[in-house]
A and B are shown apart, each in its own frame.
Chain A
Amino acid sequence: MAEIEAILATDCGSTTTKAILIEKVQGEYRLVVRGEAPTTVEAPFEDVTVGVRNAVREVEELAGRRILSEDGIRTPRAADGSGVDAYFSTSSAGGGLQMMVAGVVKSMTTESAQRAALGAGAIVMDAISIDDGRKPHEKIQRIRALRPDMILLSGGVDGGTITHVVEMAELLKAAEPRPRLGHTFKLPVIYAGNRDAREHVRRTLGDVVDLRIVDNLRPVLEEERLGPAREEIHNLFMEHVMAQAPGYSKLMAWTAAPIMPTPGAVGLLIETVARERGIHVIGVDIGGATTDVFSVFDGTFNRTVSANLGMSYSMANVLLEAGVANIMRWLPFRIDEAALRNRIRNKMIRPTSIPQTLEDLMIEQAVAREALRLAFEHHKTLAVGLKGVRQQRDLGDVFDYQMSGQTLIDLMKLNLLIGSGGVLSHAPRRVQAALMMIDAFQPEGVTELAVDSIFMMPQLGVLSTVNPEAAAQVFEKDCLIRLGTVVAPAGEPPRGGGPALEASLRLPDGSVRQETLEYGEIRLVPLPVGAAAEAELRPGRGLHLGAGPGATVRTRLEGGVVGIILDARGRRPFGLPTAEAERIRALQRWFTALDLYPERALARLGA
């Protein structure tokens, strides 16, 4: 694949199919053009390739060359410049990949199975365990009611007791689960449990489901080995789910590599970035229906999907889960609760409408903060160390053995936070995206912020499996929009008053800027993309930036389209006042300091 110079990649989303054309320009891979068209999996077309062709046609027009052939994509590139060298695709159309997982102990094998399924890009409809508190008949009812694309069954360590995992197999048999698509097919079930139980599982389930057996995902208590299960999930996704979806058998024949579930591809990309740069990363993709969170801390990758947290179809569910008060707390003006509820519901039923007034934009961005916060809370509960074992942490803690099950997410260690999805990528001012992410994730210490310009992470993820160089170059140059860096001390307000943060920033022109912030203040220091400031950061008494209370940190702060945000509003606790009038005053002050919205309009709303 070393000769590849022109690459076409598409992502078939549930509403839009996006195509990008990547080419080697002066020795470097760059995004050339992009096109999009409505996805055509549903009636009246019921053929995904119609949408793909439409999106590629837009690319053809913009690039001024032919890429489509009568029956697919022209590969390889011809002497006259038509065609491309390779074509790849990802897909989340038709509801994506929906799975059910089952294990023996909820906090151990079931949780591992859940991580395997989520990491492969699935939505986990339910996780069933021997000890999940439901009675056997309730579990059976639940399995019968769900129509997953496949089931992942795990349980037991190799050589351990087989009784419980065979009991789960018997429950599955009794439930006679049926697949979501294709009435006549047997439901695929992947068994990734105790290898000693394989024969029993085969005898129990072999006739009623399409059984696949892979290595145990928890061979010993201390180890989680998700690779084989994830790989089998991807195989089955292609064989069953994709093969059943309208037009996909055609699309599969066009592509140079297997079609991947969209979130699986995004996860792969984020994992690659974290590994290659040796950093801790969180990525979030907030869509209309779902919000995906990805994290890599100390090399451990985790992904969660909050299936019903989103900005259009699922907006009313954000209201339901967060509560109206939590949404209203981000609004710098008073609003009648009933009116707010009606507005959110009206967006749910007319999901393609967009905010026209500033007030409406602020409401959407308030909902986004809560959707992101809830999705991140969810992520923290699943991105944890293996439970039930004493675990060795990193090298620095070699003698510090801790009980496991603690979240792997450490906001003080976080280096890079990447946001994606319409509400972040298309925010009218980039600083709005930055503050939404800061308010929702509350990064601590020093953290770089970025947004995905046009959501091409899925295409780059699948590309990274065959041409990591091209994927990395386009990701750095064309995909990421660097917003800048946030500096946020954590801890209680300084005892006895005094500044919360003193920053000395040596700017690229040699000048030094001194900034002193009181607790509860936020400030913006513009610094363009590509520029960096050498910083000396001193947190106030009782506060810290990762080096201990009050300890000065010397570091390099990367600029961006927003710049450097010095955030002394506090972390753990975050200093958002609870009393309405005081809260509105604080929000007005913060928003003004960052020039978040047009100043006069903001003041008018808050009056």
Chain B
Amino acid sequence: MASAYTPGLKVTGSTRIRKTRRLPIPGEVLVRAGDTVRPDTVVARALLPGNPQTLNLANLLGAQPSDIVDYMLKKQGEAVAAGEPIARSRGFFGLGAREVRSPISGTIELVSTVTGQLTLREPPIPVEIQAYIHGRVVEILEREGVTVETSGALIQGIFGVGGERFGTLRVVVERPTDELDETRIRPEHKGCVVVGGSLVTRGALRKAGEVGVAGIVVGGIVDVDLVEYVGHDIGVAITGQEDVPATLIVTEGFGPMAMAERTFQLLRRLEGREASINGATQIRAGVMRPEVVVSTASAAAAAVSAATAADAGAPGAADPEDEATVLDIGTRVRVIREPFFGRLGVVTALPPELTPIETEARVRVVTVQLRDSGETITIPRANVEILAGE
């Protein structure tokens, strides 16, 4: 296959970012094309049909299902208030008459003479969709939502939990190899997105909850700490709905893992800017990775973005990250599997033939010179990911 390796995650100081914000059912779009929006701007709204409730009316009245229509005080489609009588049986000469009152306010949707069931519908539930990022509305999807566009920094993590949040970026460690422990999180980080180094500790996760931190971006987390933080084990990598105090974005993987230098330096340059983050991850068809978005549309970020764009090359030039999707001699890579897991290096050879490895499998390999030790290793191509532009 053409691409037998893990494509690198996007880590870029300047790129165009588009977000489609879609309602779960058709509704009303509240903004117009060209409008400037903030992360908390409500861009579309819809009314979800209210929850239905069923009553076994035949049982409650002590009547045959086919007779219940005769006892109804309200008609199908009529509105009722909670506690209002909706049906009454007559009994013998008025004795043993039974009355059924509505348990909720809503409308009578269905009276079934087959089953004797009555369906009541609660009032519609409004749902609102926010813009999530600073930007401009570039497309209206009629009755469905909008597309918001901005340019700015985009950092994708490898795994996350928790949904969309916004907050000021605060880098709370000195080096990407530093642990993010509880001493690093202080009361002034309330509502902020804190950036740590190699590993977020159990204590730091607890402290983040106490302080009211909006999000944590870190290199690694120990599996059992994640289980404790989320409150249950995550079996399938589809996340984003967890009820966690702070959204967590892991950039490298499980266990202590230094944050990639490039990622760390970029986040450092963005220190103090407002970030939109989302932990939602889906590692299957329709891959979705957790992300940090810092838009140039937020006035304060403009200067930083200009600086980072300059770092990345000529302004307006294609993002180097986009080009770096093919392994070549000189490509910077990270090893993503034992026994050199997490080590960084440079590709020195790409032998075309299938080569036996320790497991005795014959696979396509890559030769990498490790950055820290200078040692040259030969490993499966599937076990490296590209780190462009470091």
> Given the complex of chains A and B, what is the CA–CA distance between A200 and B115 in angstroms?
10
By beta carbon, the residue of chain B nearest A14 is B285
The answer to whether A37 touches B361, judged by C-beta atoms less than 8 angstroms apart, is no
**Is A354 at the interface (CB under 8 A from chain B)?**
yes
> Given the complex of chains A and B, what is the CA–CA distance between A313 and B284 in angstroms?
7
**Is B373 at the interface (CB under 8 A from chain A)?**
no
The answer to whether B223 touches A342, judged by C-beta atoms less than 8 angstroms apart, is yes
> Given the complex of chains A and B, what is the CA–CA distance between A355 and B382 in angstroms?
9
Q: How far is the CB of A307 from chain B (nearest CB, A)?
A: 9
The answer to whether B359 touches A428, judged by C-beta atoms less than 8 angstroms apart, is yes
Stretch in contact with the other chain, from B50-58, B184-192, B264-272:
B50-58
Give B135-165 as 1s and 0s: 1 = Cβ < 8 Å from A's Cβ atoms.
Answer: 0000000001000000000000011000000
**Is B383 at the interface (CB under 8 A from chain A)?**
yes
**Is A15 at the interface (CB under 8 A from chain B)?**
yes
Listed A/B pairs (27) with beta-carbon separation below 8 Å: A36-B1, A42-B287, A94-B285, A163-B116, A166-B112, A167-B117, A170-B54, A170-B112, A170-B115, A171-B54, A174-B54, A176-B49, A313-B236, A313-B237, A316-B234, A316-B235, A342-B254, A349-B237, A350-B6, A350-B158, A353-B383, A354-B380, A355-B338, A357-B339, A358-B358, A426-B361, A598-B360
Which residues of A lie under 8 Å from residue B233 when comparing CB positions?
316, 319-320
Q: How far is the CB of B325 from chain A (nearest CB, A)?
A: 12
Give B230-247 as 1s and 0s: 1 = Cβ < 8 Å from A's Cβ atoms.
Answer: 000111110000000000
Which residues of A lie under 8 Å from residue B382 when comparing CB positions?
352-354
Give residues of chain B (8-56) contacting chain A, Cβ–Cβ below 8 Å.
25-26, 49, 51-54
By beta carbon, the residue of chain A nearest B284 is A313
By beta carbon, the residue of chain A nearest B356 is A428
By beta carbon, the residue of chain B nearest A168 is B115
Q: A-contacting residues of B (Cβ < 8 Å)?
A: 1-6, 25-26, 49, 51-54, 65, 109-110, 112, 114-117, 119, 121, 144, 158-159, 222-224, 233-237, 253-255, 281, 283-287, 336-339, 341, 357-361, 363, 379-380, 382-383, 385
**Is A93 at the interface (CB under 8 A from chain B)?**
yes
**Is A321 at the interface (CB under 8 A from chain B)?**
yes
Known contacts A171-B54, A316-B234, A162 near B114 by CB under 8 Å = yes
**Is A212 at the interface (CB under 8 A from chain B)?**
no
Q: Determine chain A's interface SS by DSSP, over half rule.
A: helix
Which residues of A lie under 8 Å from residue B2 when comparing CB positions?
37-38
The answer to whether A343 touches B338, judged by C-beta atoms less than 8 angstroms apart, is yes
> Given the complex of chains A and B, what is the CA–CA distance between A162 and B284 in angstroms?
42
The answer to whether B236 touches A316, judged by C-beta atoms less than 8 angstroms apart, is yes
**Is A26 at the interface (CB under 8 A from chain B)?**
no
Which residues of B lie under 8 Å from residue A136 when comparing CB positions?
53-54
Which residues of B lie under 8 Å from residue A355 when comparing CB positions?
337-338, 359, 361
The answer to whether B115 touches A163, judged by C-beta atoms less than 8 angstroms apart, is yes
**Is A302 at the interface (CB under 8 A from chain B)?**
no
Number of interface residues of A (CB under 8 A): 66
**Selected contact of B236 from candidates A95, A141, A171, A317, CB within 8 Å:** A317
The answer to whether B52 touches A140, judged by C-beta atoms less than 8 angstroms apart, is yes
**Selected contact of B359 from candidates A163, A338, A342, A357, CB within 8 Å:** A357
The answer to whether A346 touches B255, judged by C-beta atoms less than 8 angstroms apart, is yes
**Is A578 at the interface (CB under 8 A from chain B)?**
no
By beta carbon, the residue of chain B nearest A307 is B236
Q: How far is the CB of B242 from chain A (nearest CB, A)?
A: 15
> Given the complex of chains A and B, what is the CA–CA distance between A344 and B357 in angstroms?
21
Q: How far is the CB of B65 from chain A (nearest CB, A)?
A: 7
The answer to whether B237 touches A175, judged by C-beta atoms less than 8 angstroms apart, is no
Q: How far is the CB of B111 from chain A (nearest CB, A)?
A: 10
**Is A41 at the interface (CB under 8 A from chain B)?**
yes
Give A328-369 as 1s and 0s: 1 = Cβ < 8 Å from B's Cβ atoms.
Answer: 000000000011011111101111111111111100000000
The answer to whether A350 touches B338, judged by C-beta atoms less than 8 angstroms apart, is no
Give residues of chain A (428-446) contacting chain B, Cβ–Cβ below 8 Å.
428-429
Which residues of B lie under 8 Å from residue A426 when comparing CB positions?
361
> Given the complex of chains A and B, what is the CA–CA distance between A321 and B236 in angstroms?
11
> Given the complex of chains A and B, what is the CA–CA distance between A141 and B357 in angstroms?
51
Which residues of A lie under 8 Å from residue B336 when comparing CB positions?
346, 350, 353
By beta carbon, the residue of chain A nearest B286 is A42
Which residues of B lie under 8 Å from residue A428 when comparing CB positions?
359-361
